[in-house]
Each structure stands twice: as C-alpha cells, then as structure tokens.
A and B are shown apart, each in its own frame.
Chain A
Amino acid sequence: MFHIYCPHCGEYREEEEFHPAGQAHIARPLDPEACSDKEWGEYLFFRKNPRGLHHELWVHAAGCRKFFNMTRDTQTYEIKEVYKIGEQPSVVAE
C-alpha cells in the first residue's frame, strides 16, 4: 500500500484513493495521420518496464480527480517525487 503525496491536495493519501494510469510523458502525436503503422503501434503499445526509476501517470480518483506524475523506484517502491502535468521530473534515471 503506497502512501502518495497528491501535489494538488498537498498531503499524503492512501493508495486506495488513486488509480495508476500507465507510463508518464507519452504524448499523443500531434498529427496521427502522419504516423506510420509502426509509429502508431509504438505510441499505443510500447512501454518501458525498468528495474529502477520509472515515471508514471496517476490520478487522485477518489480525491481531487487530478492527474499527476510520479517518479517511482520499481524495485524499492520508493516514490522519489510527484509533479504536476506539464512539469518535468527532477529525479531521472542515469
């Protein structure tokens, strides 16, 4: 059970209030029609699965309903930071 700091509510809440929404920073291609099948397939289906730091998208579903990003160590489950949509992580894998 994670204890997650919601950057909008400004406090820690229990994991059961949140939903994970996959890898963060997957931007929708601005011109989908210009994508090849392969490029579109990569956008749709291909995700990182690192052992270590991972940037994830979460939503505070039972709380403020805002999406936000989380940098999490998939090995230790430490949450290194949370940051709002549109912001860049300050903790990144080397």
Chain B
Amino acid sequence: MTQKNRLQSGGRIDRSRTLTFTYNGKQYKGYQGDTLASAMLANGIDVIGRSFKYSRPRGIIAAGAEEPNAIMQLGATEATQVPNVRATQQELFDGLVSGATNGWPSVDTDIMGVLGKVGGNMMPPGFYYKTFMYPQSMWDTYESIIRKAAGLGRSPLENDPDTYDKVNQHCDVLVVGAGPAGLSAALAAARSGARVILADEQSEFGGSLLSSKETLNGMPASEWVSFVTEELRGYDDVMLLPRSTVNGYHDHNFLTIHERRTDHLADLAPAGQVRQRLHRVRAKWVILATGAHERPLVFANNDVPGCMVANAVSTYITRYGVVPGNELVLMTTNDSGYQAALDWHDAGRKVAAIVDTRQSPSGDLIEAARKRNLNIITGSAVIDVQGSKRVSGVSVAPISADGSRVTGSVTKLSVDTVASSGGWSPVIHLSCHTGSRPVWNEEVVGFLPGPTVQKQLTAGAINGSYSTGKALEEGLTAAVEAISALGLKAAEVVLPESVDVNNGAPMTLFHVPHLKPTAKAPKQFVDYQNDVTAAGIELACREGYESIEHVKRYTAMGFGTDQGKLGNINGMGIAAKILNKSIPETGTTIFRPNYTPVTFGAIAGRDCGALFDPERYTAMHKWHVENGAKFEDVGQWKRPWYFPKAGESMQDALNRECKATRESVGILDASTLGKIDIQGKDAREFLGRVYTNAWAKLAVGKCRYGLMCGEDGMVFDDGVTSCLGENHFVMTTTSGGAARVYEWLELYHQTEWPEMEVYFNTVTDHWATMTISGPNSRKLLQELTDYDVSKENLGFMDWREMQVAGVPARVFRISFTGELSFEINVQANYGLHVWEKLFEHGAKYNLTPYGTETMHILRAEKGFIIAGQDTDGSVHPYDLGMAWCVSPNKPFSFIGKRGMAREDCVRPDRKQLVGLKTVDPNVVLPEGAQGVFDPKAPIPMPMVGHITSSYWSANLGRSIAMGFVKGGLDKMGEKVYYPLADGKVVEAEICSPIFLDPKGERQNV
C-alpha cells in the first residue's frame, strides 16, 4: 500500500525510518514519528470503526486525547491485548497490530448498520430504558448482543507479561502540559531552584507549538521548545515526563500521572523495562497549562468519515506531513479555523471553500486566505454532508446572523473533507476533579476553571488565552506566584518574542441549522462516541429533563471514554437554547478522574502475584512448609491449618491430630497471637478498666484469662494476660485482633486516662510461641529443662522463666485445649531451634504438630470461644454464658459495664451461646445454619440463632457444635431444628458447650 496522503516533505517524522503496522489484518507503512492515526490517514484509511448506537461508519476526527471515534484494540498476541487506545495518542512502532474496537462482524459490513439506518425512531435517547428494559428477563440477552455489536473493546484472556509500577513523587511545582504556557512556567520555576515536574501526554514537549508555523525570537517555535527542554534537562531537581498524562487531581494537591514508558517501542516492553508507571505526586503547587480542545460544529451528517476538527487537519499536515484528503471545505465561526485551510492550500491541495458563519469576518488569517485567493463564503454554513463511508460533497447555505435558521438557497460543493471549528473549549478537567465547579465565560464562549481550595494556578489556553504570547506570559506569571508562595526568589526569565496575530470576534454557534426542523433533519451529532444528536437533546428537554446533569444521563452525552471532550459544550448550548436559558442557568458540566482511560496494569502496579498482599510468617514457617502443612490465612498471617500425611484426607489428618494431642502430646505454633508488653505502676488498674474481670489481685507469676468489650458491652477480643512483675504484664490478643487491641489501649490511655502511668509496646513478632498440649507434655518439657515443671512447682495458670533446650524462655501453663499444656515463649531468633529440639525429644511421645483446625476442634470440645467466630460484635459476656468472667463490683466502671446493662442487653430472650448436639451424631451442622424452634412453622420461620462453630470430634466420636439460641441458657435439653438449603432438617439438642471433661480434670494434673 502506498501512503497516498503523505506529503513529500515536512512534519516531525523521520521518512528514513519506515515502520510496518497492521490494521484489521492488513499491513500498512508509516514513519517514525507517526501516531497510529496519522499513519492511518496517510494510508487513506477512512473508516476506523462503527458508532456505538447506530453503527454508522466513523473516521478519525481529532488529533489528540479528545478523539471520540478512533478507539482501537491493540496487541499482537492474546496476552498483550489492550482495549480502548486512542489511535491519535498511540505512537506508531514497527510491528504494531491494531484493530477496530467497534464493528461486528467487520467495520465495512455491519449488522448494526442495518439497525442504524432504520433506527432513527427505533433508538431514541434513553433507548436502553425504553427499548431493552422489557421484558426484564431478556436484559442479559440484549446486553450481551449490544456489547458485542457496539464493541467496548475486550480484555486479554491471558496474563499480561509486562511490568507496571508506581512511584511516589514530591515536588514544589507540578506543571501539567508542556505547551508554551507550561514550558515558560517550568523554566521560571526551575531557574528559581524549585523542584519541578513537567508532564505532558505527548511524545515530545511543545504542545501547540509542534504543529504551529509561528516564530519565537524569529526562529521556528519548535527551536525554542528544544532550547527550553535542553535547559530543563540540566537541572537536578527537574523531572521531565513526556508520554505522561496527568489523569487525576485529588485532594490536597495529590495527582496521579500515567506514564507510558515503552508503549511507543513495541508490543511488549523491552526486557527489564517497566511498561507503564503511575506517579503518585504530592505537589506544593500545581500549574495547569492543559490547553484547549477545538469544538467541532454540529451539522447534518457531521460524522461521515472525512469530517474533522479544523485544528486536527492542521496538525496532521504540519506535524505529520499528512493531508487527509484532496478537496477541503472549511466551516468556521472564528479566525483560528482558517489556519486549516491555509495549511491545506499550502500543502498543494484544493480548498473548495471557506464557509464562515459570520457575516463580515476580518483579521490577519482572513487576509492571508484572501491573499491566496481562497473562496470565502461568509454568512453561511455547511448544513449537510453527502456520502456514507467518506464525504462526497456538502450543502452550503446562507444562515441568519444569529445562526438560528437557513435563509437562502443551497449550493452543493464536491469535496471529500470537511473541517469545522466552533471555537475552543479550555481543558478544565483536572481542576474539576477536586470538586471545583467551572465558571462560564461569555467572552471565551466556554467554561473556565472555577474557584478552588487547591494550591492551583492556571496558565494559557485553559484560561481562554489562546495567543502564544499570552500563554508564555501567563506561564511565567503563574510560576512567579508559586515561587513567591514557596518562599523562593524568582529568577529572571526573558520570554521570547512572538508575533501577535490580529483576530476578529468569533461567533457563538452550537448548532448549525438545517432546512428541516431538527427532529426531521438528518442526524446532527453532538457526542460521537455515544451517538448523541441535537435531536436527541431536544427530545430529552421536551420530555422534561431540564437540568443538564439529567439531560446528560438520559442521553448518555459525555458518558463515553472520551468524557464528552468534544461534545459537552455544544450539547449544553443546544439544551440551553431549547430551555430558553443561558448556559450557566442550564448548569455546569463537571469532569471526574480519570482524564483518559488508565490501564488496570498501571493501577495495580506491583501489588499483584506474590506481592498482592503481605504474607506474614512465624519463625517456624520454614519447618511447616517442609513438613507439608496446609496453610490458612488468618489476617495476613499464614498459619498451618493441618498437617496431612501421605494419603490422608483433611478429616483423617484432623482426627489423627486431635487424638494424638489428647492421648499423648501435640504441638501448635501460636506465635501469631498478639502480645503486648505493659509496664508502669498503673498497669494493673488499666487492665481492670479494659477487661471485664478483676486484675487487682493477680500475683506475680500468675496468668489470667480476660474478656475485652467495647463501650457498648459487646465482646471484641480475649486472651490471657500474665503478671511478669508487680508493674509489668504481658497481654495476649487474638491473632487478628493484635493491632486493634493495641490501638484501643493507646486510645484510652492517650485520650481518656493520660494521667495513668502505663506504657504499651507490641511484642508480637519478638516472641516465638509454641504450645505443647496433652498428657505427655510435661514429660516432654522436663526433658528439655532443668527447671522443675511438676504440678507443685508450676501450677495451672502459672508462668516461670526457665531454659528450654538451652534457650531462655518464659513458660506459661495455660491451656486452650483443656489438656495439660505449656506455652513456651522464646525470642523469635531461637524459635526454630527450640521447636526442632522439641521434635527431637518428642518422637517417643508421638509429638504431633497440629494446625488451626485441630486447635478449633479441641477448644470447641471444651466450649472455649474464639472471639470473631463465636462472637460478632453483638454479644456480651452474659450472652456467651461467661458471667464468671465479669466482675461488676470493681470500683471503676470498666469498659463495657454500662453498655451491657442497657435495657436491650438484659432481655431474657437474647440469643445466647450454647452447645448443640445433633440427634444423629454423624451429622455435622454447617456453620452459619439458622435454627428454628418449630420446623413446621410457615415460611418465613422465626429464626432463633445460628451455628457459630461445628466440627466432627474424633475424641468424642460424634459431631459437636456451638451456636446462638434465643434464651438458650435456660433451654438445656430442648430441641432446635436447622432447615438446610438441601431441604433436610437437622434436629439438635441444646446442651452445655463443655462437651469434654466438664470438671477440668485433664488440665489440672
């Protein structure tokens, strides 16, 4: 294929470096420096997709981020698929593979196109609501067909092989946009010694200057750009980020920048390189120099390929050396549009006419057009376009001075390209992100950034200042303001001299009239991506949608991936006219992050795979892995769940672990339990305030179980706290509750009782904790210590310091299994040593490692609760049958005491935790099952509480369960029924939750 629209010379492309790319399966050539869009236009590709709703053929309209149509699917392989890429922003590389996003089965023969042709009345605005909502059962079907046909792109089915990451940045001044305003701002800030980040979404800095024929200091503007960029590169504290879109402006000057580091190089990032990087920037000041987007005009059939925004036509010619057609008609409401016709003419192609909607325009560019003898038709408009897959001609007619109606007869022109300019819309998106409402400016005929609480300044076209000279000046002024506010001294910057262009007044025109009324005229598109027409907006207004926010939602205007960058202002102008209001009265438009779509890769960064979430390990983790543990997540901890032997099912393993522990000795890695060191003379009193039970008399060397409640009286954590010294305690918490309990203690100490002399320190990670449990645990321990661990010398609920396997240890004789049990704590650096020594000596006792599941079963056999499993924030100690753990007579009203005395907390029919034995001992109730008293009651049955813990107990040879039952503590022996999802009803008897050894004889030996 030849590049039939490529000029022989000119543009910022390298004609010596030919690149091959594929579009919809066909190969084409382009040059280094092209965007995918410019290369497609060079090759004369007219149709690049089908429209969303009517499936009309669409072509490239714009040359930048505002492009609504050229949304491509990229990727040479399944794994490298990227949807939703604007061809106007994708740099061409050799081997690029692209395809149209919309269009099924293909862009040229399209099923939905048929619908589109007849569909004028079939698909009015709100068509989702009106057409497809009924019957509701069909919605899934409709939706899948619409999605497939409308084509919202597709995500890859294989893992993305590329790497994406995030970097935290800090700067004094973040300059967004490297056009004339941004460059002068960055230069001034950098020379003053500020830390500067300059980000621009394009591959090169320069913005509008890259496609401009202007001069600065008598040189081509692009040379000034090079000088400034070079100087900026020389500062240590300046970071230059080309190919980087500032996508989000968040609170307190936090901005996100999406940098595409290798998207321009290849389908896959070169080895070792990061494909895209998300910069998380905290800027002391932000200077928005984001420029403006040209508005296309709204006229009949203005979406036929070949219709383009005037400035885009100039950009393709000047920057890329591509003239996207042969014969041009330009329609404009303002002087700047003329540049497209001048560039077209200068490129040697035919300008059929310049159609100026103004009656008698005058200005430098108009003069320039007259000098070239271009045909200028004033007081007229292009009111209609002929052609379907490419413009073949236009209808031109005179219009009234206010632009509301056609006033004369139609002339037809034979052209293949229509450029239009309805003026410019400042790119205010970022300033809207933090909630700032934009303000309408009549003079600019557009919204300007509104008042903001952010440390934000604006410069250049975003302020409606469209001349290069003004942009340079405003950039400098903004930088000086930021520099002074930062307390720096502004360095001197002499701005280059620019040539002033004398412009005439523009005309405000949002909607070009047609011979027919809007509803009957051919479609006049406002929002290309969502197929919103002028008629659709009129209909919405007639149907009663008066707020622009409602109009937008009803018509879907601005809801595409382009966020209505081209269409919103025209749409608002049309709505305002119909409603007979001013634009500000109709409402403002607001934009939200992100400015352009961001890949999921960049959002995820490195927080994926093994780095998705931290895995916390104990000192014995390696042993667990080597010994075949299956792991369970407890918060971020990886805890052994059970240790299956070859051929064992989970239940087999649990049965074996449970029996071994009760018959001889088992061992549990309990290091994950939260541990808080508490020191100070008021430590004991503090414990009395945060626990429900008494601590005043706990002697040194003793341990005690405690329940912790919130002020509402509800249990939120529990654990054993031991008295290490008169003013020294160590508290244990649940594995998941450690951080919360620590913060809770600090909260009360810092905010309520700062006078108390107590300090808290987290020591969870410092101690490795291993619990040996079972009748042979004492014998095993005694083999490893010289300390006498007999019943007489180390009683139940005592702790002592001793050497275990040569390592200094604190051994606590506490039990969560109901067996004789010792919890050995050593500094974690020696944990694995002691653990392995225990196994060396434990073999003869069949020392059996067990995990969390066996721990749960063994404790449930004893009726011990697990906070967070048997409690859910709505149960107090009495509900748990743990009145023994509440000391209401403590002098201080401990946390939870008043709460659990509230009227609702003393109801007799509260749900209370009880044991439950299924009548059929082989049935294990599912946890979460809801109980009823009367299984024959009509549905919905009154539910009386749910099962919280349920297991097969190998030691008891039956199932056991704990659960809540209304008034259960007074219903011992009564029946509860559990209707299950499969229709079966399980009958269970209420009993004490202590299923085994109710007198506690096993642990008291």
Contacts and interface: CB of A to CB of B under 8 A. Distances in A.
Assess A/B contact in the complex (Cβ within 8 A): yes
A61 to B, nearest CB: 7
A14 B280 CA distance: 11
Interface string B555-592: 00000000000000000000000000000000000000
Given A19-B743, A31-B893, A67-B750, A43 B902 contact: no
Interface string B747-759: 1001110100000
B903 A37 contact: yes
B902 A37 contact: yes
B456 to A, nearest CB: 13
A1 B750 contact: no
A40 B899 contact: yes
Contacts of B752: 27-28
Contacts of A66: 750
Nearest to B248: A1
A35 interface: yes
Contact of B754 (A2, A21, A43, A85): A85
22 contacts: A1-B251, A1-B252, A1-B254, A3-B253, A3-B282, A27-B752, A28-B711, A28-B752, A31-B893, A32-B897, A32-B898, A33-B897, A35-B898, A37-B902, A40-B902, A59-B746, A65-B743, A65-B746, A77-B434, A79-B252, A85-B750, A85-B754
Contacts of A33: 893, 897-898
Contacts of B435: 76-77
B747 A67 contact: yes
B677 interface: no
Contacts of B750: 66-67, 85
A78 interface: yes
Q: List 10 tightest A-B contacts by C-beta distance, closest first.
A: A32-B898, A3-B252, A1-B254, A32-B893, A76-B453, A77-B251, A67-B750, A37-B902, A78-B453, A28-B752
Interface in A1-59: 1-3, 14, 19, 21, 27-28, 31-33, 35, 37, 40-41, 43-44, 57, 59
Contacts of A77: 251-252, 434-435, 453
Contact of B747 (A3, A21, A32, A76): A21
B765 interface: no
Contacts of A35: 898
A55 to B, nearest CB: 13
A63 B624 CA distance: 33
Nearest to B750: A67
A61 B898 contact: no
B250 interface: yes
A61 B250 contact: no
Contacts of A59: 743, 746-747
Interface in B885-932: 893, 897-899, 902-903
B677 to A, nearest CB: 15
The listed residue with most B CB atoms (<10 A of its CB), out of A2, A27, A76, is A76
B108 interface: no
Interface residues of A, number: 29
A33 B254 CA distance: 47
* Chain B interface main SS type: mixed
Interface string A68-94: 000000001111000001100000000
B251 A2 contact: yes
Contacts, number: 60
A18 B251 CA distance: 15
Given A40-B899, A43-B711, 9 more contacts: A1-B250, A1-B251, A1-B252, A2-B251, A33-B893, A33-B897, A37-B903, A65-B746, A67-B751
Interface string B228-254: 000000000000000000000011111
A44 B746 contact: no
B204 interface: no
Nearest to A84: B750
B712 interface: yes
Interface in B116-148: none
A86 B898 contact: no
Contacts of B746: 59, 65, 67
A87 to B, nearest CB: 12
The listed residue with most A CB atoms (<10 A of its CB), out of B250, B746, B751, is B751
Contacts of B898: 32-33, 35, 40
A43 B899 CA distance: 10
Interface string B429-440: 000001100000
Contacts of A14: 282
Contacts of B754: 85-86
B691 to A, nearest CB: 16
B452 to A, nearest CB: 9
A44 B902 CA distance: 12
A31 B434 CA distance: 45
A72 B453 CA distance: 13
A66 B760 CA distance: 12
A79 to B, nearest CB: 8
A32 B254 CA distance: 44
Nearest to B168: A14
The listed residue with most B CB atoms (<10 A of its CB), out of A2, A27, A32, is A32
B251 A85 contact: no
A2 B712 CA distance: 31
A57 to B, nearest CB: 7
A18 to B, nearest CB: 12
B900 to A, nearest CB: 11
A44 to B, nearest CB: 6
A28 B253 CA distance: 37
A85 B752 CA distance: 10
Contacts of A85: 750-751, 754
Contacts of A79: 252
A88 B750 CA distance: 15
A76 B746 CA distance: 30
A23 to B, nearest CB: 12
Nearest to B252: A3
Contacts of B434: 77
Contacts of B903: 37
Contacts of A76: 435, 453
A52 to B, nearest CB: 13
A85 B711 CA distance: 20
Contacts of B899: 40, 44
Contacts of A41: 902
The listed residue with most B CB atoms (<10 A of its CB), out of A27, A57, A67, is A67
Contacts of B254: 1, 3
B282 A57 contact: no
Contacts of B747: 21, 59, 67
Nearest to B251: A77
Contacts of B711: 28, 43-44
A14 to B, nearest CB: 7
Nearest to A32: B898
Nearest to A19: B743
Contacts of A65: 743, 746
Contacts of B897: 32-33
A84 B254 CA distance: 25
B764 to A, nearest CB: 15
A77 B434 CA distance: 9
B712 A44 contact: yes
Interface in B221-275: 250-254
Contacts of B893: 31-33
A62 to B, nearest CB: 11
Contacts of A3: 251-254, 282
Contact of A57 (B252, B453, B751): B751
A58 to B, nearest CB: 11
Nearest to B255: A1
A20 to B, nearest CB: 12
Contacts of A57: 751
Contacts of B902: 37, 40-41
Contacts of B250: 1
Interface string B738-779: 000001001100111010000000000000000000000000
B907 to A, nearest CB: 13
A41 B251 CA distance: 35
